[in-house]
Structure 1
């Protein structure tokens, strides 16, 4: 095309035609924020140990542990009082009933019975209003040796859950080694939905705990393709600390959320998930706060540091394995949001209403600041009244600033 032959509007029309496929692919592959809250953690409980009172009992144990942890809590921001209220109100944000590694391999009749019992217990807790807002089940992997058992558990659980199935329900697929396994899970979910006449689509989370998820034999990052293979059903990528580290030959003593191999995997996960609306979750630490006082203090100090490290890396979720890890999870999380609130609020107020903050913030940074404050509100670290007072916007306006659908 030559300038003498076409107007600028004509050029724009031609470029629109040339880029139409690319524009459509961008919207399809990167739809952006889904407009839902991300839980700050996922608690894993073996299937045979879950009952309708699990959330309540974990909350009571966590509350008892909070007092012993109090000397490690930084002063300021009323963190201790806020965490105490959180544990009384909502001690677990996301709970996964585990029929994989935490449950083990058992005879089919025994697992069947435990699956039915757990599903009924979850339904009862939903009916009673004591369930965590997000919950679900982790089935065995879709590797050949465990595929049939995983399918059987999925079908039994969903069928028995009935009215206990809520918008917060998730199915976790572990040890994924191929894009085809994710596509197979979609097929399985569609079958189960049809069989049990479900009105809503079942959603899935992918556990990234094999090297094949990060780098395929063709040299590509398969985790990005796994998200697309999920057909819009994938809501999260969860890093598996110990399976992944072990598969790369890291000695047990050095397997950790902060090992370089873990950082590399999570870097890839974050890039793959960016803009897709899929959440990224860190893994767990298996150093539990049990034993004598010194052992508990050391485990809490480690957990506090690791949770804070994840938050600073932009990973806002992780796994918790023990009731006494809940206080350190919320202390670290609340401290992170309380400490950064004054500066974030000052910058946002200047961005929205004009004035000086000492920063020249562009729209993308303002969105990040708003998203940070919004996460604090959603988990209970920040009050909506504080947002109005400090920033001069309500929650809806804050969500719009964060580029989240409202």
Structure 2
């Protein structure tokens, strides 16, 4: 198989996923509360075995899952992706004890994961984060139940503080964290070496019930669960470290290199849904003595939408295949795929709204939903401007190495 074609079995699996999303996941998504974790939906993803595939499949399979689910149910796609983003650092960098404690619950859909990187002053510039991990050899023991709200009753009770002496205490704030404040655990990136930039960041696995950890939801344009977290001397030990101390930036970038192409796949799924809706609308809508599709301006617009969608899909597949092949060019390819696909989806959905007219702006219309959903991917996991910066740096680094 090349990056430019899919096997019949893969195409059949994608079709099966679209059917599952429409028939089993979409009804659960409709019952959820906007801005809150939909635990019933996550549990169904686990029951269908899709969450387990996050840790047993490659990047291309992840992209196929995300595109297929996004086509029929963006809420299901997002729920799956957030479980993967929050738990992948545990899978890839965690200890045996960390993996044994959390990954079975994540794959079953009974524990909610979250990736806590962004801060009020450190979003796109992730190396500038300021959440402090202050050295502290005293024993942690303050009790607090302020962060218990929203935790699943299926998740066994955890100790209120680390079992051993706290080596660090986390102090500061995280913001725009998906699944916060309802997640059961967080992959948290904190500064353990002040002044060292990206070299002084450590990744920690922080259970939600740690004393001093509280959070609040944020009211956002899209209906995803997003919140802010406050860390008031939250105790963590060496047993909570993911990977190595002061090497957490590698954990963050390794995770993002995997998930950036699949953000592109999410965008492609939305673009394809908007394109198909537009094909149906323009083929059936009477206007100016004929069908909308008979107007050259309309048909050419639809052709452009299809062209860009397919180009984005191919780049996403190529980037995912490069990741699966352990290609050293993954950062550039991932950035290109995420950039092209998210910008393309914005264009396609906006064009679809224009061709549908006012009906597409009515609350509850597919395109009204997609119009709100499509904006955020151009920002999260590295804004479009950051992707261009990564691409340029990689290109110049290759040029200088010649």
TM-score w.r.t. the length of structure 2 is 0.25
Structure 1 or 2: more strand by fraction: 2
Answer with 1 or 2: which has the greater Rg. Answer: 1
